[in-house]
Amino acid sequence: DTEVTQTPKHLVMGMTNKKSLKCEQHMGHRAMYWYKQKAKKPPELMFVYSYEKLSINESVPSRFSPECPNSSLLNLHLHALQPEDSALYLCASSTSGGAIGELFFGEGSRLTVL
C-alpha cells in the first residue's frame, strides 16, 4: 500500500464553521506533513510531525490546528478561517528520519471558505 488518503476531497465552509481535514497512510512512515497550495504556486509547508510529535510549524495562524493521533493519522482542524485560506491542502508522508527521502502525497483536499 503506497497511498496517502485524504478526506474530504472537497470542502466548502463558512468563516464561522469548524471542520477537519483527515489524512491516513499505512506505509509505516514516521513523518507526516501538511502543505498548502494556491493556484499557480508551489506547495508551501505548514506543519511537520515526526514520530507523532510536532517538529515544524511554519508560523501558521492558530486558526489551523494540526493533530497526529497516531503514526498513521494526521488531522488538520479548521476554525474561523478567512476566504484567503481557500486552497488545496496536501498531506504527505516520508519514511526517513531526516530530509533524505521522497515525500508521498495524497490527492489533496480542496477547501473553499465563503
Site for other proteins in 76-95 (CB under 8 A): 90, 92, 94
Q: Which of 12, 8, 1 has the alpha carbon at shortest distance from 91?
A: 8
Select 31 or 81, whichever has its Cβ closest to other proteins.
31
Q: Which of 81, 108, 111, 113 binds other proteins (CB under 8 A)?
A: 108
Select 8 or 102, whichever has its Cβ closest to other proteins.
102
How far out from the chain centre does Cα 31 lie?
12
**Cell numbers linked to 75:** 488531522
Q: Does 1 bind other proteins (CB under 8 A)?
A: no
Q: Does 106 bind other proteins (CB under 8 A)?
A: yes
What lies within 8 Å, CB to CB, of 58 at 6+ separation is 44, 45, 46, 47
Pairing state of beta strands 109-113 and 10-13? Answer: parallel
Site of interaction with other proteins (CB under 8 A): 4, 6, 31, 33, 40-45, 48, 50, 55-56, 90, 92, 94, 97-100, 102-108, 110
